[in-house]
Amino acid sequence: NAGVMQNPRHLVRRRGQEARLRCSPMKGHSHVYWYRQLPEEGLKFMVYLQKENIIDESGMPKERFSAEFPKEGPSILRIQQVVRGDSAAYFCASSPETGVGPTDTQYFGPGTRLTVL
């Protein structure tokens, strides 16, 4: 059973370009979460999606950032007009369902390290 897949693992962009980060959840998981880890900090929640729905985007910056989880295909985190402050590790996690208990456990992918020059 493959784990959470993320690609690319490393992404270099120049200021003003667009960055697209992809996440394929574990088989059987329908919930996807995106987190960002800035240097020397912990992981910060960005957005929680189910298929074709954004459930909670309270951690997303108001501008330039968007996320989707289409009916078919991976979840995409899109950053438009990147700036140097967007340089970070972006982690995707998936879980089978919500509610209290073991099924809530979020399993993380290896991350995408974005560097903005």
- Which of 12, 51, 78, 104 touches other proteins by CB under 8 A? 104
42 lines the binding site for other proteins (CB under 8 A): yes
Token pair 């910056």: residue: 61
Residues 61-80 touching other proteins, rule: CB under 8 A, are none
- Which of 65, 88, 111, 116 touches other proteins by CB under 8 A? 111
d(CA 7, CA 114): 11
Kindly list the distances between the CA atom of residue 53 and the CA atoms of 23, 68, 85, 89, 114, in Å, as whole numbers in the listed order: 15, 8, 28, 24, 25
**Closest by Cα among 1, 22, 19 to 92:** 22
- Per CB under 8 A, the segment of 14-22, 33-41, 69-77, 80-88 that binds other proteins is 33-41
Give contact residues for other proteins (rule: CB under 8 A): 4, 6, 31, 33, 35, 41-45, 48, 55-56, 58-59, 91, 93, 95, 98-102, 104-111, 113
